[in-house]
Amino acid sequence: MTDFAISWNLCRGRFVDSVSGLTNEQLNYRLHSETLTIGEMALHVAGTELWFVSQLTKRENDAYEAKLIKAATDSVVNDLPFPYSPEEVNEVAIIEAFDYVAKIVQPHIESPSDEFLTTEIQSVLGPIITGQGALARFAFHPGYHQGQVHIIKTAPGYPA
């Protein structure tokens, strides 16, 4: 197992724990107009992982995957609406997305090929990165958003 996988498993596990068990109202609470909701963040994290691996492996994406990949960028780094409605953002959909993506990502993060590590792709923020750069981002991305989840959960007005 790579150091990337060790960090990813830890950070991703803690992130999933931080969003598990939340009500639809809590998952869809928007702190202010310029932020993602907790549920949107969760789908964004899963979508980003899928987008990176899809580019690195030249994976053909079905409709479910294509929509999840849009959560990586839409309403995050562009002005397009988030691809999921509040009704679609719920604990079942989030856990399903994380489980689905983990099955695709895990083999590549635990034992990446040299080709995987050196292939160049476009990151969510736009710069061209290698597969190694993608794995480095996987290792901290859920932890970054876990901090945001904590801020939202402790904000005045967050639903009990």
What is the model's pLDDT at position 119? Answer: 97
Alpha carbon distance 48, 142 (integer Å)? 10
User: What is the rounded average pLDDT for all residues in the chain?
Assistant: 96
- Chain segment 52-67, per-residue pLDDT in tens: 999 999 999 999 999 9
What's the longest Cα–Cα distance across the chain?
48
Query: Which band of pLDDT confidence, cut at 50, 70 and 90, is reported for residue 130?
Result: very high
3-class SS of residue 157: coil
Share of residues in the chain with pLDDT > 90 (%): 94
What is the model's pLDDT at position 76? Answer: 93
Query: Which band of pLDDT confidence, cut at 50, 70 and 90, is reported for residue 139?
Result: confident
What is the model's pLDDT at position 138? Answer: 87
Alpha carbon distance 113, 101 (integer Å)? 19
Domains of the chain (ranges; CATH) run: 3-153 (1.20.120.450)
> Which helix (H) or strand (E) covers residue 41, if one does?
helix 38-57
Alpha carbon distance 151, 153 (integer Å)? 6
- Chain segment 112-124, per-residue pLDDT in tens: 999 999 999 999 9
What is the model's pLDDT at position 42? Answer: 98
Residue 80 pLDDT > 90: yes
Q: What value does the mean pLDDT take over residues 21-39?
A: 96
DSSP label at 21?
A: T
Query: Which band of pLDDT confidence, cut at 50, 70 and 90, is reported for residue 101?
Result: very high
Residue 148 pLDDT > 90: yes
- Chain segment 87-96, per-residue pLDDT in tens: 999 999 999 9
